[in-house]
Amino acid sequence: MLSRRTIIKGTPISGGLVLGQARVILPGDVEFAEITVPVSRVSEEIEALEQAVAQTIEEIHELLDSAGKKIGGPVAKIFDAQLLIADDEQFLNQVKHQIRSQRRNAGFIYNSLVRSTTAPLKSSPDSYMQQMATDIEAVAQRVLSHLSGHNKSDQKFPPHTILVGKMFTPGDILSYRKRKAIGFLVGEGGVNSHMALISRALRLPMVMAHDVHFEIVNDAKLIIDGTSGEVIVNPSDSDWSEYQKRKKRQGPAAITRIRKLADIPPVTADGKVVHVGANLTLRGPADDVLSERKIPVGLYRTEFLYLANYDFPDEDYQFQYYYQIAEKYADTTVTFRVFDLGYDKLVADTGWPSEDNPALGWRGMRAMLDMNHIFKTQLGAILRASVLKNVKILLPMITDVSELEQARKLISQAKFRLRKNSVPFDEDIEVGIMIEVPSAAMTADILVRKADFVSIGTNDLAQYTLAADRTNNRVSSLYSSYHPSVLKLIRMIVEAARRHGKSISVCGEMAGDLLALPLFVGMELDLLSMNPARIFDVCRMVRKMDSSMARHLLNSVLSSDTQQQVIHKLQTYKNELDKMKTIRRRKHGSVDT
């Protein structure tokens, strides 16, 4: 058990920062002894089973209703799948048959059959099968709890409770949120599990660290950063103070503070406008604030529609989803990135062979071109949603001009089909590309001629340029967006876009990094699209900057030999701005908005 201050580098599952006390919830399998049942009691066992299943179905219906109200369509469909599992007539008939033939208690038979069903699914290399096993166990846990009479409490947790466990079901997440849990630390589970999708949809921070639930004790103080994956167990007083300050600058409060900003887009001290946008994955509370202030969505990740169900929705379902988003942001623009998936996120029935290195395999645009029936379905849905004339299409991970040409051809075919069927759409919809690999950066002059706009994905650009997986602890120290090679590639892309008169944006994590802000202001980018929680601080810093000074700093930074030199120059500049802010506060006794 961890009794001293310990820093754990885990996998970020759901972003956000929380400070609180641990409540450890160990795996709660309900064990049933094998009991021989007299013939006279067999019907009672079957009746108890039917009642437990009925209660479970009622609970899942309530969760489905709650998820639909709090989150919306795609996430709520997770509970549709659990309803089908709970009401599986063939499986229940098998349980009843064995209760009668073996004359054993309902709990023992049901539990035994669940375990024999899930065992091969758990050992499958297919992520879909593994997730199915998790969903079956989640349903079974409810049925068995009712059979045993041990139902979960609805009592609220103490304030600032962070739950620690092996893994939590989607129903657990919803239930624990209702009981006022503020975050989660889990020992198992992937970034695309249903548990992860629900936590992100509800904006509940979550980090996964292998077997961590065995190392944490109840009431241990915890700091969890769901964005970086860092966890501090038994933090020092200085840790606590520092992260409390960070929390005040992040999260829902930071999004709400956008309403207080005087100018959006912000303007530098010497009059240069800096346009900001939001990166989004799900509909949620941020939409009201962002749409109210007419902040564009520079990147909307659509792959969540697949990840919520491990299946690609049909065109009508996707159209309704995209249209509702476009309608919400009717006074600004929404850029939908088409499905950006790889083998590590797909299921076996797509026909893809196993890959040892999915990051360098079939993903992004390669995937969509190989599965063009899925791509054309999505294109049809996005085009139909573009009828409001505020929608753009973004193509991910373009590595070669031939991929862009093929995608353009499929978009033309989708448009032709809609015209033929008299379905309205925006004929002038813009089609952009994400440049996030070195080959695209080096041939940006060729690519940008055939695109309507360009977006730089700094996360992957740094990863592929430096050959360093940012999620691999052994090489994560080598990963840095501030490496001179990465910055020079970004400058190269920007200059190519400028030469051809195309708009250029940045949509990676770097776009919301205050340290990098003067570089992008100096490059005169058209849009910085970021996590909504970063918008307030970015806008506030822009107002203090002088664009001519930023251009001078940019030239100095690009002449640096090492990332340490880059960071030193940028940090020195930021410190000077912070001093100016402190002087202003003392002089005027007010907070800058």
Catalytic residues: 194, 507
Phi, psi torsion values for 516, nearest 5 degrees: -85, -15
Query: By C-alpha distance, which of 526, 579, 572 is closest to 549?
Result: 572
Q: Which H or E run contains 503?
A: strand 503-506
The pair phi, psi for residue 492, each rounded to 5°, is -60, -45
Whether the Cβ atoms of residue 187 and residue 211 lie closer than 8 Å to each other: yes
144 three-state secondary structure:
helix
Look at residue 130 and give its three-state secondary structure. helix
- For residue 135, give the 3-state DSSP assignment: helix
The H or E element spanning position 13 is strand 11-14
Residues 267 and 543 sit within 8 Å (Cβ to Cβ): yes
CA 95 from centre of chain: 39
Task: Collect all residues with Cβ–Cβ distance below 8 Å to 482 and sequence separation of at least 6.
Answer: 515, 516, 563, 566, 567, 570
What tokens appear for 486 in the block?
Answer: 């990465």
- CA torsion through residues 163, 169, 170, 174, sign: negative
Q: How far is CA 98 from CA 38, 107, 345, in A?
A: 14, 12, 37
* Bond before 265 cis per omega within 30 degrees: yes
- Strand ranges, E, within 289-384: 297-301, 334-337
Instruction: Say if residue 55 is exposed, middle or buried (CB neighbours under 10 Å; 0-12, 13-18, 19+).
Output: middle
Which residues have a Cβ under 8 Å from the Cβ of 328 and sit 6 or more positions away?
283, 287, 291
Under 8 Å between Cβ of 10 and 209 = yes
With a CB cutoff of 8 Å and minimum separation 6, the contacts of 494 are 456, 504, 523, 525
Cα gap 53→146, rounded to integer Å: 8
Q: In degrees rounded to 5, what are phi and psi of residue 223?
A: -125, 125
Q: State how far the Cα of 143 lies from the Cα of 145, in Å rounded to an integer.
A: 5
Length of the chain measured in residues? 593
* Contact (CB, 8 A) for 457 and 451: no
> Token digits for 83?
């309803």
SS3 for 222? strand
